[in-house]
Structure 1
Amino acid sequence: MPILARACFDCHGPDAQESDLRLDVRQVAFAGGELFGPAIVPGNAAGSPLVQFISGAGVLEMPPSGAQLTPDEVAVISRWIDAGADWPGPADQPAAAPLRSDHWSLQPLASIEPPPSKSLWIANGVDAFILAKLHDAGLTPSPPADRRTLIRRLYFDLLGLPPTPEETAAFVADNRPHAYSELVERVLASPRYGERWAQHWLDVARFAETNGFEMNQPRPNAWPYRDYVIAALNDDKPYDQFIVEQLAGDALGETVATGFLVAGPWDQVKSPDVGLTLMQRQDELADMTNTTATAMLGLTVGCARCHNHKFDPILQKDFYALEAVFAGVNHGETPWIKPARGAADDGRRPAVSPLQNEDRFAPVAARAVRFTVAATNSGSEPCLDELEVWSAASDVADAINVALAERGGRPSSSGNYPDQSKHRLANLNDGKYGNDWSWIAETHGAGWAQVDFAEAQVIDRVVWGRDRLGGFTDRLPVDYAIEVLDSDNHWHVVATSAARRRYNDSGAMVYAGTFAQPAEPTRRLHRGDPLSPKEAVAPDALSVLGTLELPLDAPEQQRRLALARWIASGENPLTARVMVNRVWQHHFGVGLVDTPSDFGANGTPPTHPELLDWLARQFIDHGWSLKELHRLIASSSAYRQANAPRDECLAVDAASRLLWRYPPRRLESEAIHDAVLQIAGTLDLTMGGPGWSPFEPNDNYVRVYEPKTEFGPAEWRRMIYMNRVRMRPDAIFGAFDAPDGGQVCPKRGASITAIQALNLFNSRFMIDQAAHFAARLRQEAGDERLAQVDRAFQLAFNRAPDATELVAAQQLIATHGLPAFCRSVLNANELMFVP
């Protein structure tokens, strides 16, 4: 049945019955229709038209598009029919069989050890796997890179900057056995590491600081997400925690982290046409769904938006189940709740949020719950948009909100806001969110609200918020107590704000999305058309890998937390594999799987499958530490090889996929930009905060981004801090294949165009930096040309010039001046490549 579901149900299933044939209902498939006789003849595969069509033996070949059934799949169906075509479920109901797959990436991580070898070349397990593949191909590794090359490679790779001449000289002269390992540690401890590697993740997260589409308005408060990623990498935040925070950071005291969900483009101009407006919303949700699946699971889930995936075991229902997880997420700004310094270790719960808060306690029998406020963040009347009280249940999916008015909950209070047009007491437990459906107390700074239940209940948590739609942040209770009323009419305190960190409201906002309980369940859409809704779909994971077991009306935040924890589980076969492969790609230029965001059937299999699984298991076993993964890879002999070509190896493996050498590659635009500034002596290493813009200021309703023609110290920070404009890469370094933020970019291209050379040679920025470079040489080397040339080569290439270069450089300076020589150095190929 899973084979039929994948290959046949799109045209012969619940939504379409081409040729009057339906294959998901037993009695129809066996009886046939007016235009088509029985497709399946139980006990007679050879006489079943279905087998003839899927095997290519009939007048038609099915399916007409997408992946054809393999001979093994045809054999499975044939054996099933010959055995009587046993069919699960009722004869008149659509079949529902769990998906299964033998695709390599969907299998559990293999428990594997590095192949045994006595080779002295092997520095760690990475090398054992690499060497085994080389031997199989009749190849041998290259000799080690020299120390100048090695430090330069490590710095560009992990920091995105060249080492200084002094750092290079010290490492070259250091003959201690552990000199390299100590260098790796120093590099990983540098704050420049987070700045360099954050860009790789921001490419995958499709991060930019404008909305895109025709207006392309700026998002002035999007930058905190960029800073969050940099800090997470520098702190070596465990990757599983990093995942959970980006999908549900609002539940964990990391409000800025959910910037991941809304980092993509957003069409803010809504259409008056209902169908178009609904499609815009579907596009927003599809962007969140696709990006999460692509970035974290390496699967092209978006292909199942209109029909079952043609190649992978992903049903259309799976797409909408994932979409249901994000159904309550909207683009917009939310209050930036900043954790106190050191808060991660103080054992206290996150500070209160204007959006949603949860207070848990031991299960207790109660007849009522009272929420008493002693202070608000603004000093004004306390406000609650909903007071939820949840029943205790062994499975959270079975819990119910016993405070709801529709379940008999009766609200009362210390006094109600005079303006009852909106802020009525009945709003306290009506199941609706937002300021327009909130209750506000009568007195400033204090008050209480209470809900009595229809009958005594065993409860274990209270969920509340000030405005879960994210519109208002004032009137937020920051000093409060929650009490329960027992059967003897005694009140008992079960939770207080004292268990939380202090609320620090700086008035700052962050573009990290807003969250609200979806008003309607998510429905599967026929052919992806929002005007053709089908059955309701509960929020869930991919059915081929498991289930979240959530109900249709699961609380909004709970949906994202459940999915995040499912993705971040060590039992998920994709998560660690995908991230390990991304890290490998950025170290060697290409991943073990060279389709880093497609681990499905259309992707390529890994060149070293055993190594991939071993690295993934090492990653998990070492606490999902990215720095430990970098340490392992950078310490391998494979990473430390020379990069010189060898004819006998090129004849067998021209792309160096087997790693018989270290594959050289061109630097990305950011590293070229930053290296130029460092060499010129102008680089500003200020970290964090709002970025700098490569475009002239403008405040047009429809933004027009004109490149700057003059650059000063404000534009001399690292490029990670440049304001990213969607659909408009910067005019100079954007030509080096920088993504435009329109979609996930798992792997940048490496084009060679005339505009790249023209930008580096003729742009105002490069001419100015050449002049600053010349001024630096005069200051550090004096007026003697030999000294100036030597210092320039040491700064740019970490080496001395050879005799030919020395003569040519002096002639250039004599003829055209020192700035012209500096300009030529900044345009050299040697500066553009990881050695």
Structure 2
Amino acid sequence: MRLTLLLALAPFVSSTAAASDDRAKPPAADFVRDVQPVLAKHCVSCHGPDKQKGGLRLDRGPDALKGGDSGAAIVPGKPTHSPLLQRLTAEDASERMPPDRDPLTRAQIETLSKWVEAGAKWPAATGTAEQHWAFVPVKRPPPDPKHPGRNPIDALVTAKLSGNGLSLSPEADRRTLLRRLKFDLLGLPPTPEEVEAFAADKSPDAYEKLVDRYLASPHYGERWARHWLDAVRFAESNGFETNQPRPNAWHYRDYVITALNDDKPYDLFVREQLAGDLLGADAATGFIVGGAWDEVKSPDTTLTLNQRADELHDMVGTTGAAFLGLSVACARCHSHKFDPIPQLDYYRIKAVFADVQHGERPVRTGDPVARAKEADRLRAQLATLEQQLAALEPLADPVAPDARRAAVNPKRNTDRIKPTRAKFVRFVVFETNNLEPCIDELEVFSAGPQPVNVARASTGAKATASGTYPGAPNIHALAFLNDGRYGNGRSWISNRSGRGWVELELAEPALIDRVVWGRDREGRFADRLPTRYRIDVSLDRESWSVVASSDDRAPFAKDAALVPGGLTATEKATWVALAQQIDGLRQKLTDLDRGPVAYAGRLVPPEVTYRLHRGDATQPREAVGPGALTELGPKFDIPEGASGPERRLALARWITDPRHPLTARVAVNRLWQHHFGTGIVDTPSDFGRNGAKPSHPELLDWLASELVERAWSQKAVHKLIVTSATYRQASAARADGLAKDAQSRLLWRYPPRRIEAEPLRDAVLFVSGKLDLTMGGPGFDLFEPNGNYVKVYAPKKQFGPAEFRRMIYQHKPRMQLDDTFGVFDCPDAGQIAPKRNVSTTPLQALNLLNSSFALQQADFFADRVRKEAGADVGAQVKRVFALAFQRPPSAKESSAAVTLVREHGLAALCRAVLNANEFVFVD
């Protein structure tokens, strides 16, 4: 039983005092001095950062005033209406808070009552963003004339060094600098010729010209895309127990590479990944659905609800981590324990993504006018080929069931008839190979030298049917029967098992000689195929004639030949060639019409979003509209009734608002991290209170402001970094630096580091002369093909030219790593990997020394050296060192290498240098 505050205070105060208190408003209590200690001692253990019983949190103002699952706990100005005080003063011990303890004292109750009656003011500095460096606006530091350098980066770094009694190291030699720069920007080693040319170029801007050339290289996007794909958990399989491939996920990878090569402004890069469907960059939304997905849906509604909640959770969490450097996902079950992210904000962002589901959709590419012209050209070419193919088809003869025509097949069937005038064409199905009959497109062609499909809805033809399956999803409808588009995704399904009919009324009577139909011309589905059917025509809808049927076809069989019977060997060869050309043209037309299919998310009307009690999908509470973080960044609202794409674009604009304190900081920190091995903030996807503090806060803010001022150009920031004296330092260790900063965080030298798995594999192929620099498109596979329902990833043991592309183009499965280079700390894409581990293990040495790939490439490397250096062993040794290390061998190295070649062969030397620290490390 709950009592009012006045009744609850009866044991402690007299009625006269109560009346007096009612007449005279008490002085306000000081929150920090009087109120906060009471809450901290008696309430926060159950309603604080570690747990929030009843959804109530009392250690932060906005959360305390918002209340919990039962509504507001504090009503400012009305202590008698505040459930918090009612529970604190309840006579019933089972109702009174805190539980299992002595009740609050009279003085504590009076303190809280006075505070609530005075308005329950919560100081602005308590639990707000202003307490943390990353949540305040970016402030561009002024230049410091006491610390000059090549650019302001050096001034800010040397100021920090000077304060610690350190200084920059001298500039690295040209070979080291060139090798460092090319691996950093392109992920490839330099050639001996590049090193010689750079050493010979005495112009003062020689290095700057090299930087510009590398930044303009198409290989720049390939190198830096890998960093981004790690941070956004990109992979090309679904994960979970079946881990099936996503054959069309590569479009997002190619989008990222192209965007980086084009130096797409970073703010637009962000907006396109969240709302590319509105911005002409459909493939970019592969970011949203790039995470793991449990494709196996259960009939258990509870499990399905949790699967959907987990899908959206991944979208919210990755968006917050990638663009804002915040662990927004931590607010799913309760308000964030450390950062100002109320639980409600999590669900506001979740509502933004409520229109996105995992799956594929067509994506637009290229100029639409050019695509239309190309489509017209292909249609004319297709009509000619189809006419030639039809001439080889035997005429349908419904009264002569002698199996003279090929059996029906799922992809495409032609019923050629004698020229007949018709206004109505009816296709009647009597039997299928299973389930309800399905037709993806029913075409009727006019007779003559220039046949036209007169059955299309766009020419005025109308379709009717015996019925359409009532439970069919929106990919199956009668309107799709003659819309001119192929595939299961736009098809008609009958409402009767094994039977049904469709009828086309042509716009005008026409002389026709061909009916073409298929179950799924994309070739993905073979069920629901009509195996017994009849085609009727009529001029008046009353008198019908049978013009074709399945009676003169060969009996249906799963693997029946598609070539008609009765053809000579030459005619069969012609038929097969024409059919292949037609299939190719149709696929090109499909791609032009809808664009290629990419794993970029299925877009649906936004579902209603509810706040979930403790994040449990089976415990929905109030409905929540779309929005963003309310306590961080610029204030904004998403209009009520905004569509799904409009919601996502609004969120993207909020994230990329130049006033946002996080976006630019997070972006430049990622660039700095991959140039120096460690970011200015060592937790690149967590800038919150639990993340690391910046080693150079002023430098971070200067770079962030510079990114915005330079129109969000990432290449401009790259150039600033790599042309700085800080970047151009030697990497040699110094006693003073090691004593004060062993990790080189203050940047008294350039930190040497091992190259990652991808550039290491690329470098091996590069020096062996086998690297294929073909860009874009579907990737290569390092695992044996198999079609198991539960995908089994068996590593390949043999490699050929198909596997010799750059590793960015490897078809990357989730949870499975390449057998050779996976041990070099490759992330498995099970979750975001904004920062890779760097380990040293025996398996790394063994794989690089003894794997079939390493042995094969060592042989290729030796073959290349023999061709380029000839038979002289000394010349061979020099060429090996030049290709692998971009320098000549020392006398000692030369002597040992010559001995090794003479005793064990050139391949042994090549294998050795591929395992040398100098090959796998960048100084």
Which TM class, normalised by the smaller chain length? Answer: 0.7 to 0.9
Report the CA distance between 1:172 and its aligned residue: 1.1
1:306–1:632 distance in 2 versus 1, CA, 3 Å: same
Does the 8 A contact of 1:105 with 1:574 survive in 2?
yes
Cα distance in 2 for partners of 1:98, 1:433 equals 48
Partner in structure 2 of residue 31 of structure 1 = 86
1:642 aligned onto 2:688:
no
Contact 1:13 1:24 (C-alpha < 8 Å) held by counterparts: no
User: TM-score, normalized by length of structure 1?
Assistant: 0.75
1:678 lines up with 2:766 in the alignment: yes
**Change in 2 beyond 3 A, CA 1:622/1:343:** farther
Deviation of the 1:336 alpha carbon: 2.4
Structure 1's 444 and 305: CA in aligned 2 closer, same or farther, altered over 3 A? Answer: closer
CA 1:657–1:739: 2 relative to 1, 3 Å: same
Deviations 1:573-605 (A, max 9, x none): 111000100000000000000000000010011
Distance of 1:176 and 1:724 partners within structure 2: 44
Q: What letter corresponds to residue 283 of structure 1 in structure 2?
A: D
Question: CA–CA distance in 2 between the matches of 1:328 and 1:146?
Answer: 55
Shift of 1:702: 1.1
- Normalising by structure 2, report the TM-score: 0.69
Change (3 A) 1:420 1:13: farther
Find the counterpart in structure 2 of residue 411 from structure 1: none
* SS of the residue 2:610 aligns to: strand
Aligned to 1:48: 108
Cα contact 1:526–1:532 (8 A) shared by 2: yes
- Is 2:144 the partner of 1:103? no
Which one of 162, 173, 176 corresponds to residue 149 of structure 1?
176
Relative distance call for 1:155 and 1:81 in structure 2 (3 A) is farther
Contact 1:127 1:636 in 2 (8 A): yes
1:140 aligns with 2:167: yes
Superposed CA deviations along residues 509-528 of structure 1, whole A, max 9, x for unmatched, are 1111111112x420010111
> Which residue of 143, 157, 176 corresponds with 1:114?
143
**Secondary structure in structure 2 of the residue aligned to 1:505:** helix
Q: Given the alignment, which residue of 203, 208, 211 partners 2:235? A: 208
Q: Deviations over 1:624-682 (max 9, x none)?
A: 10100100000100000000000111111111011000001110000100000001111
Distance in 2, matches of 1:208 and 1:644, equals 38
Query: What's 2:435 paired with?
Result: none
Correspondence for 2:714 = 626
Is contact 1:21-1:29 (8 Å) kept?
no
1:87 has 2:120 as partner: yes
The offset of 1:699, in angstroms, is 1.1
Change (3 A) 1:507 1:22: closer
CA distance in 2, matches of 1:316, 1:610: 32
SS, match of residue 623 in structure 2: strand
Secondary structure class of the residue paired with 1:231: helix
Matched, 1:163 2:204: no
What is the match of residue 764 of structure 1?
852
C-alpha displacement of 1:114:
2.9
Is the contact between residue 538 and residue 551 of structure 1 (CA under 8 Å) also seen in structure 2? Answer: no
**Any conservation in 1 of the 2:611–2:622 contact (CA below 8 Å)?**
yes
C-alpha separation in 1, matches of 2:698 and 2:362: 46
Instruction: Name the SS for the 2:621 alignment partner.
Output: strand
Question: What whole-Å deviation, never above 9, does each CA across 1:673-724 have from its counterpart, x for those lacking one?
Answer: 0000001111110111111111111111111111111111111100000010
Residues 1:723 and 2:752 aligned together: no
Unmatched segments (≥5 aa) in structure 1: 52-77, 90-96, 345-377, 384-413, 425-431, 446-465, 475-501
In 2, Cα distance between equivalents of 1:45 and 1:660: 59
Distance in 1 (alpha carbons) for counterparts of 2:257 and 2:828: 20
Amino acid at match of 2:178: I
Deviations 1:498-539 (CA, angstroms, capped at 9, x unpaired): xxxx99327621111111112x42001011111100111111
Distance 1:816 1:381 in 2: 73
CA distance 1:299–1:761, change in 2 (3 Å): same
Amino acid paired to 1:28: P
What is the alpha-carbon root mean square deviation over aligned residues? Answer: 3.6
Asked whether 1:286 is paired with 2:346, we answer no
Cα displacement string for residues 315-358 of structure 1 (whole angstroms, at most 9, x for unaligned residues): 111111111111110111101211229999xxxxxxxxxxxxxx
- Give me the whole-angstrom Cα distance separating, in 2, the residues matched to 1:267 and 1:416: 41
Shift of 1:45: 12
Displacement of 1:556 in angstroms is 1.0
Which digits, 9 at most, give the CA deviation of each residue in 1:182-215, with x for residues without a partner? 0100110111111000000010111111111111
Q: 1:243 & 1:379 partners in 2: Cα distance?
A: 46
Task: Measure the CA separation in 2 of the matches of 1:88 and 1:536.
Answer: 28
| Contact preservation (8 Å) 1:521, 1:553 | no
Aligned length: 678
Structure having the higher Rg: 2
Structure 1 residue 11: Cα displacement: 2.7
Pairing of 1:757-796 with structure 2 (within 5 A): 757-796=845-884
Residue 443 of structure 2 corresponds to: none
Answering whether residue 657 of structure 2 is matched by residue 569 of structure 1, we say yes
1:418 to 424, 441, 464: 464
- Give 1:252's match in structure 2, choosing from 275, 279, 287: 279
Structure 2 residue aligned with 1:336, among 359, 363, 374? 363
C-alpha contact (below 8 Å) 1:416/1:441 kept by paired residues: no
| C-alpha distance after superposition, 1:116-168 (max 9, x if no partner) | 2264xx00010010000000001011000000100000001111111100000
Indicate the residue corresponding to 1:600 in structure 2.
688
Within 5 Å, give how 1:650-729 maps onto structure 2. Answer: 650-729=738-817
Query: What do residues 288-331 of structure 1 show as CA deviations (whole Å, max 9, x unaligned)?
Result: 11011100110001111111111111111111111111111011
Helix, strand or coil for the counterpart of 2:592? coil
Contact 2:680–2:695 (8 Å) recurs in 1:
yes
Aligned pairs for 1:174-213 (under 5 A) are 174-213=201-240
SS of alignment partner, residue 251 of structure 1: helix
Instruction: Quote how far apart the aligned CAs of 1:49 are.
Output: 7.2
Distance 2:739 2:690 in 1: 27
Q: What is the alpha-carbon distance in structure 2 between the residues aligned to residue 712 and residue 770 of structure 1? A: 14
Pairing 1:272–2:304 present: no
The 2-side partners of 1:214 and 1:441 are apart by 35
CA distance in 1, matches of 2:172, 2:110: 61
Residue 350 of structure 2 is matched in structure 1 by: 323
**1:7 and 2:48 matched:** yes
Q: Distance in 2 between matches of 1:568 and 1:148?
A: 39
AA matched with 2:219: R
The share of aligned pairs that are identical, in percent, is 53
Q: From the superposition, tell whether residues 434 and 116 of structure 1 become closer, same or farther in structure 2 (CA, over 3 Å).
A: farther
Show the counterpart of 1:525.
Answer: 612
Q: Are residues 220 and 14 of structure 1, via their aligned partners in 2, closer, same or farther at CA, if it must alter by over 3 Å?
A: closer
Q: Which amino acid aligns with 1:129?
A: L
For 1:723 and 1:443, locate their aligned partners in 2 and report how far apart those are by CA, in whole Å: 37
1:253-294 Cα deviation digits (max 9, x unpaired): 111111111111111001221111111111111011101110
Q: Which residue of 1 aligns with 2:827?
A: 739
Cα distance, 1:572 vs. partner?
1.3
SS of the equivalent of 2:464 reads coil
Q: By how many angstroms is 1:541 displaced?
A: 0.5
Partner Cα separation in structure 2 for residue 183 and residue 241 of structure 1: 28
SS at match of 2:659: coil
Aligned partners of 1:547, 1:440: CA distance in 2, in Å?
45
- CA gap of 1:679–1:50, structure 2 versus 1, over 3 A, is farther
Contact 1:415–1:442 (8 Å) recurs in 2:
no
Q: Shift of residue 565 of structure 1?
A: 1.1
Contact 2:362–2:594 (Cα < 8 Å) also in 1:
no
Following TM superposition, by how much is the alpha carbon of 1:104 offset from its aligned partner in structure 2, in angstroms? 1.2
Task: Report the CA distance shift for 1:419/1:100 in structure 2 as closer, same or farther (over 3 A).
Answer: farther
Deviation for aligned residue 1:103: 1.4
SS in 2 for 1:736: coil
Go from structure 1 to structure 2 and tell me whether the alpha carbon gap of 1:108 and 1:118 turns closer, same or farther (over 3 Å shift). closer
Other-structure match for 1:392: none
Verify: 1:542 aligned to 2:583, yes or no.
no
For residues 56-71 of structure 1, the aligned pairs below 5 Å read none
SS of match in other structure, 2:822: helix
